Structure 1
């Protein structure tokens, strides 16, 4: 089987879908990742690399491309960058968070001509010929503009196909959120872990944290989880991986649970739809 995961920035593939990518690659399936931008607007965690960010040398995209290649090597997947050519490593630039000045740049992914972006996506889809395509839900996981755009482009590209592949959206069961927050509270000591924040049980949920009944498919795999952690370590500008948990630049601790949830996605409407409960993405 061939699987294609469509993501907005380097590291999204590892954080959101790394268990599935690693598990299916380890099982011998042909796994591909399409990344839409190089994450040029990302915040940089290591002090010695902060000169790379958009406010200084503006060289983070090329560096993160190297991290992406290393992460995909750990996962066992083949990488593609949307609109990449011989002279340009990517066609579109990271837009940054909603409302940021970087989103007004003419090359920002949120300002992409949809017809052009869909054509580039179809080129990769036609080349890979996937049986399954995975991306975000229509809210982009946590409403990041580039995640929403990646969802829009992926769905529209698949919807143009006469015999479209099966699509899934990556989602999280709310019961898992409660379990993972309780685990972090029990296992992570904020006082001795560089001042990290422990999420509270009543902290707000993101758009991708939905009722369990809306997430019928589960991927839980020890080798996939091992590969995910190794891939996340490759994204050192963005992620710090600890024993069973990790943080981003916001220093909020999150559990590495080794499980991921998915729901069938209708490419014509962009909405998740009901599906049979079960293990894995491959029928």
Structure 2
């Protein structure tokens, strides 16, 4: 089946490639129309390359426009379309809201920060995009925003509200990105065997805590498994060079903690009315493809 539309709603440039790069590249290669909607420009991100440190918000504060161009290159590598929420190129407006930074930081108190935006106002803009594109599938984060970032939580909140605002007959299927615990444990074992000490990255220990997006296997009801999509994901992550260092089938952010590029991503349905995960069907024994009627 070809010709379906998918929309992935993310908080910052690079989130699309980190969390859903496999699904994006996979469905684009299948001939579907794949869109990314990014809610902020990630102005408060930490800059990895020393020669680009001047871009940071506490110096030149030009990281946002730089990351907008990184997003263009990354989505081109994945073969998908992209837009930033509230951007207006004709007026020179790159985004409507600013990256909030982490919870408890001074930047999160900025009135222009995305976390402080009116949910109804943002949801209306997201709903406009959904109405325009008419996707069969919308993907965003769970109620914890994957790992607790305020902008990720806000993205979850406004995406659910946007879908809930539509007539029931016009609502697309809504999913959160999740990782089965068994996959996460396998990935840590792989990292211990494949990440060389010379990389200078920390490999998580088997007993280290997982982020909230790692859940019991039974919670994850849908999946995309496509190892052949990893090269496109790697290329997209290399485009985000201010934020990501890329190795062979692995990467690290500014914290230098290694993560695997495993070629698989998990998902579960969200109830747009409540924002909660929809309980898996009773007796379900296997995961199904993210896109109805398509291969995983």
TM-score by length of 2: 0.93
Give aligned pairs, total.
281
Separation of aligned partners in 2, 1:83 and 1:118: 12
* 1:21-100 correspondence runs (5 A): 21-85=24-88, 86-87=90-91, 88-100=93-105
Give the conservation status (yes or no) of the 8 Å contact 2:228–2:263: no
Compute the TM-score of the two structures, normalised by the length of structure 1: 0.97
Q: CA–CA distance in 2 between the matches of 1:280 and 1:119?
A: 29
Q: CA offsets, 1:92-116, max 9 Å, x none? A: 0000011111011110000001121
2:158 is the counterpart of 1:153: yes
Give the Cα–Cα distance (whole angstroms) in 1 for the partners of residues 97 and 181 of structure 2: 33
Distance of 2:277 and 2:28 partners within structure 1: 25
Aligned position for 2:269? 264
- After superposition, residues 1-283 of structure 1 pair within 5 angstroms as 1-85=4-88, 86-87=90-91, 88-162=93-167, 163-190=170-197, 192-193=198-199, 195-273=200-278, 274-275=280-281, 277-283=286-292
Residue 224 of structure 1: CA displacement? 2.2
Instruction: Judge conservation of contact 2:44–2:101 (CA < 8 Å) in 1.
Output: yes
Please list every run of 5 or more consecutive structure 1 residues that lacks an aligned counterpart in the other structure: none
Q: Deviations over 1:69-127 (max 9, x none)?
A: 10000111110111111321100000001111101111000000112111111121111
Shift of 1:189: 2.0
Q: Distance in 1 between matches of 2:202 and 2:287?
A: 34
Distance 1:259 1:177 in 2: 11
Task: Check conservation: 1:7, 1:150, Cα contact below 8 A.
Answer: yes
Residue by residue over 1:132-155, the C-alpha shift from the partner in whole angstroms, topping out at 9 and shown as x without a partner, is 000000110001100000000000
Query: Is 1:19–1:258's contact at 8 Å kept on the other side of the alignment?
Result: yes
Q: Would you say the 8 A contact 1:37–1:81 is kept in 2?
A: yes
Distance 2:114 2:244 in 1: 23
SS across alignment from 1:32:
strand
What is the alpha-carbon distance in structure 1 between the residues aligned to residue 255 and residue 215 of structure 2?
Answer: 23
- Secondary structure (helix, strand or coil) at the match of 1:141 reads coil
Asked whether the equivalents of residues 224 and 258 of structure 1 are also in contact (C-alpha less than 8 Å), the reply is: yes
Unpaired segments of 5 or more residues in structure 2?
none
Query: How far 1:226 sits from its partner (Å)?
Result: 2.0
